[in-house]
Structures are given as C-alpha cells and as structure tokens.
Amino acid sequence: MGPTWEEVQQLIAYTAGNGAAEIRNHAILLLLAVYGLRRGEVARLRLDDVDWAGELLYVERPKQCCRQHYPLVASVGHTIVRYLQEVRPVCRHRTLFLALHAPHRPLSPESITAIVHSRLAGAGITPPRRGAHCLRHACARHLLESGFSLKQIGDQLGHRNASTTLHYAKVDLAALRAVAELSLGGVL
C-alpha cells in the first residue's frame, strides 16, 4: 500500500529545500513517515503539542479518545524548529501547520494529502496509493522489517486492536519465496 522505506528516504531527501513550502512540507512528511501519523492528526497538531524541554510530541488520537506522547526525534524537531523560525506566519492560530499565504488558516487533512501526492509525483515515486496514508503503511512496514512486534507497531500507530495492525503488516512475498525455494535436504 505504501512506498518502500528506501523510497520514503528518497522522498524526504527530495523535499529538503529552502523555499517556504518545501520547509513546511518537509516537516509534515517527516511526521507522517517517522511517527506513522494520520493526516488529520498532523493537521490538528498545535504549537503546545511539542514539549521542547521534555523532548516529547503529543498527538491527539480521536479514534482512541486519548492523547499519546512520543519521544521527539531530533531530525523531526530540527525540521519543525526551522519551519517555526523561518516560515510559519505570525498569527493568532495555535495550529502548527498553516497556509503560507493570507488568509493564514490551519491546513486541512485534505491539504496534507495533496502535499504528499504532489511530492511523491515530483520525486517519481508511484506506490499503489499516493495519499498521506501510504506513509503510515510505509512506517508500519519499516517497523516490521526492523524486528518490532505487531503489538509495538500497533502501539506506535495508536491502534486499540491487534487485528487493525495486521492490515498494515502485509506479507513479504520475496521472503516467502526464498523460504519456499529452500532445499529441505531429503526431509520430504
């Protein structure tokens, strides 16, 4: 459903620029890919959701009716700081990500999907699905390939039910093929 982790790294490198939109979009893409956040969760992030002293990121999980915290990954934190210092318009809104041109308003979840779609296309990456959710799938697959349990992946993604996490943990057909091709040395 999502790009490979190598493609995610290409996407992140592709979006690391110096223009206002590039700086903002880079921060958004990192939050989606590194934490596996939903587009709505990123759209709802507020300035107060980043605890700089405690190095924590707080995320409202509406499906679970809870607030979850994550360690603030240094690269993500630096990218958010750059966005705040160089790009984010000064206005009354407490939402983290805003439209860059007046009227300055919070980005909608649909805007975040459009950002991901256009950045994937610009980078020449064509996963089966190209919205923001594909980065959530990529995050889950990367965690699975890194040896994390389904429970740990589910906790990271904010799932209450293990069966939901299974949807993100697709079978690695290449690895299964390698197992199937093993010579069992006369066992059968």
Residue positions annotated with a catalytic role: 38, 63, 133, 136, 159, 168
Work out the angle at residue 168's Cα, subtended by the Cα atoms of residues 167 and 171, and round it to the nearest 5 degrees.
Answer: 85
Query: Which three-class secondary structure state does DSSP give residue 34?
Result: helix
Query: Which three-class secondary structure state does DSSP give residue 63?
Result: coil
Instruction: Write the CB contacts of 38 (distance below 8 Å, at least 6 apart in sequence).
Output: 109, 132, 133, 136
Answer whether 59's CB lies under 8 Å from 158's CB: yes
For residue 28, give the nearest of 114, 93, 102, 86 by alpha carbon.
114
